[in-house]
Amino acid sequence: MVFYHGGGFVIGDLETHHNLCTELAAQMDLPLIAVDYRRAPEHPFPAAIDDCEAATRWIAGSPSELGRGVTGVIPIGDSAGGNASIVIAQQFAASPAATPVVMQVPIFPLASNAAGSASLTEFAEGFILTKASVEYFEEQYKPDHCDPRAMPILGDHSKTPPTVLVTAGLDPIRDSGRDYGAALSNAGISHVHLEMRGVTHSFTNLRQAIPSNQRDLERVIAAMKFTLEASA
């Protein structure tokens, strides 16, 4: 698993997501490498995506350096990292590596432009991620809305690997994730879409504060195991 942390490509780091990464590695019983990519505003789009792709390609092609047999990679991440997981899978599909992407796991990702969406209006304040924060992250990151590396909904979905897509019911960017799920359905891609009802953005990092979020994460992990077994 190759993990890309959330934070709008502006905040967050390896430490903010260390607990989540160790939980994923332990419950999946798979190695996980987290990517420490450059962040905005010092490094706007597409610096973070370039770093994520470079790191993932190195991981896919460096089994001897890692001291492990690498049979496949799984891009996984939350929020901005969910965006990155989709983009990296698309980049690998367009230019394959020796080691394939066997599954992708975008967790409450920004896949399409959230501006004007019903969820951004409905959950603008009071649900962890706010509309103001979404707009601030965009202002700092400066994504090109016409570039699939920023808005992967615009990319080619025909070669998408088996997918576990996770959205949160009380998330201002929920509808962006739903858009991506619809695109996968329209492309005939095998996927599991879990929408966690009654939870907010970043629920995977709130498990100590809200114990039921641990069960939600375990549902995601169960879906990942199911998807890997079904696609083997």
* Range 113-147 burial, b when 16+ CB lie within 10 A, else e: bbeebebbeebeeebbbbbebbeebbebbebeeee
**Model pTM greater than 0.95?**
yes
Distance CA 107, CA 104 (A): 10
Domain positions in the chain: 2-231
Q: Which of 17, 176, 201, 216 does the annotation list as catalytic?
A: 201
Check whether domain 2-231 has CATH 1.20.120.1200, yes or no: no
Strand ordering across the sheet containing 33-35: 33-35, 2-4, 75-78, 105-107, 163-168, 191-196
Indicate which residue of 78, 79, 117, 191 is catalytic: 79
Catalytic-residue membership of 201: yes
Q: Residue-wise pLDDT tens for the chain (232 aa)?
A: 999 999 999 999 999 999 999 999 999 999 999 999 999 999 999 999 999 999 999 999 999 999 988 899 999 999 999 999 999 999 999 999 989 999 999 999 999 999 999 999 999 999 999 999 999 999 999 999 999 999 999 999 999 999 999 999 999 999 999 999 999 999 999 999 999 999 999 999 999 999 999 999 999 999 999 999 998 7
231 is catalytic: no
The first and second tokens of residue 138, run together, are 């965009």
Confidence at residue 232, expressed as pLDDT on a 0 to 100 scale: 77
**Is 62 one of the catalytic residues?**
no
Give the Cα separation of 98 and 201 in Å (integer). Answer: 35
Nearest to 149 by CA among 84, 215, 99: 84
